[in-house]
Amino acid sequence: MTNFLANKKILLIVSGGIASYKSLDLIRRLQEKKVRVECILTESAKKFINPITFESLLGKNVYSNLFTLSQEKEMNHIKLASNSDAIVVVPCTANFLAKMANGIADDLSSNVLLASNKIKMIAPAMNTNMFNNQAVKLNLKSLSKMSVNILSPKKGKLACGTVGTGKLMEVEEIVEKINNIFSPKELNGLKAIVTAGPSIETIDPVRFLSNFSSGIQGYEIAKSLHNHGAKVTLVTGKTNLDDPKDLEIIKVKDAEDFYKTCRSKLPYDIFVSAAAISDWKVKKIFSEKIKKNKNEINIIFKKNVDILQNISKNKNKPKLIIGFSAETTNLINSSKSKLFKKGCDWIIANNVKSQPVFGSNYNQVSFITKKNVENWNKMKKSEVAKKITKKIVNFFKKNKLIP
């Protein structure tokens, strides 16, 4: 992960919840990124963790009382608000969420937030029923409209013993999100379409033809392009993934849906065809469920629409077209052949037989152009997405195609 955080000033506000202790790990990780961290503890947070623990880690005082004279002389709440590049609330309780959304300023932390026009991020953490409460949802919606970056909680087992949404986002991911906020927006003014997930081709009212694609790689590419300033539309088949924030998301079913959606959005600048589209579909869909009264059944398949090839040949084709190639043998030769046949600019190829790709957070790919092949090491799919994005940025800069 490219470090955009070095020498940034982050003000961390810790509100009082079970997840408060994780803010200590966040401080440590931010310090590793050379971030200059200041910290405010709410009165509730001090009930969970002794301020001395934070001060030992920071090597400096933490702030909490709005009316402490010595602190007011050294750094009042206006200075705290203006001297930071970003303010991050981790964890953010339902109570603190409500105060932010409604402009309540009854302590140091809430005063600082009201007095600041800098980047703001919150990482909510609370009981599932609280998170699903209509009041909390309205408050989150209000904060989103105020351009507060919301790091959505995860599903899992909570401290109260229940299982559901409300678990604090993993600290490593929080650091990554903060880092992305400061990433240069080199793709500003460009529009991108990214496809992800599997297509589902109907056989009869209860059966279908599909594949094992999880959609992770496509989702990560969409998020990475968005983080670099592109206006992204994610066209996705059915997945178990959370919807990325701040993207246009269009959910589709079969290859025809994928193609019609991608074609209707033309013209755009970047097309990343990461979805696993079935090569075949049933020639005639059975109107009734196929009964199990025969030992064999003949189903006639026909070729599906070739989305990558059709978009590549469209008169309004994107400036950069990237395809994906999943192979079990002859990875490079098969993928090169696909690149020329489809008419796209790049192919991202992987061998799905030699490594667990579907559903995994890791991938090992080859980056193929008409003139070159790069074999990348195995890495997280999020890192693959960032490397692809870097290639895209360099392409548009080199060809002077950025508005």
CATH of the domain at 352: 3.40.50.10300
How many domains does the chain fold into? 2
Query: 174 with 198, same domain?
Result: no
At which of 181, 214, 244 does a domain end?
181
**Cβ atoms < 10 Å from Cβ of 49:** 16
Query: 230 with 351, same domain?
Result: yes
pLDDT at 69: 46
Q: Are 139 and 130 in contact (CB under 8 A)?
A: no
CB crowding 224-240: b at 16 or more within 10 Å, else e: bbbbbbbbbbbbbbebe
Query: 107 with 212, same domain?
Result: no
At which of 181, 202, 221 does a domain end?
181
Please report, rounded to a whole number, the percentage of residues in the chain having pLDDT higher than 70. 96
Using CA atoms, how far apart are residues 68 and 40, in angstroms rounded to an integer? 13
Confidence of residue 352 (pLDDT cuts 50, 70, 90): confident
**Cβ atoms < 10 Å from Cβ of 333:** 10
**What are residue 233's phi and psi, to 5 degrees?**
-115, 125
Query: 170 with 255, same domain?
Result: no
The token pair at 156 is 């899992």
Query: 342 with 266, same domain?
Result: yes
Q: Cα dist. 97→41, 102, 124, 137 in Å? A: 15, 9, 8, 10
Q: Are 244 and 234 in contact (CB under 8 A)?
A: yes
Query: 167 with 219, same domain?
Result: no
pLDDT in tens, 268-323: 999 999 999 999 999 999 999 998 887 888 899 999 999 999 999 999 999 999 99
Query: 383 with 354, same domain?
Result: yes
In a domain, 1, yes or no: no
Which position has the higher pLDDT, 391 or 166?
A: 391
At which of 181, 206, 224 does a domain end?
181
Least confident of 108-117, 149-158, 214-223: 149-158
Query: 166 with 246, same domain?
Result: no
Using CA atoms, how far apart are residues 46 and 64, in angstroms rounded to an integer? 9
In a domain, 186, yes or no: no
Range of the domain at 134: 9-181
pLDDT in tens, 65-110: 876 645 555 556 677 888 899 999 999 999 999 999 999 999 999 9
First vs last Cα of the chain: how many Å apart? 26
Q: Of 39, 95, 34, which Cα lies nearest the Cα of 63?
A: 39
The token pair at 11 is 């003000």
Query: 206 with 106, same domain?
Result: no
Task: Report the catalytic residues.
Answer: 160
pLDDT in tens, 246-272: 789 999 999 999 999 999 999 999 999
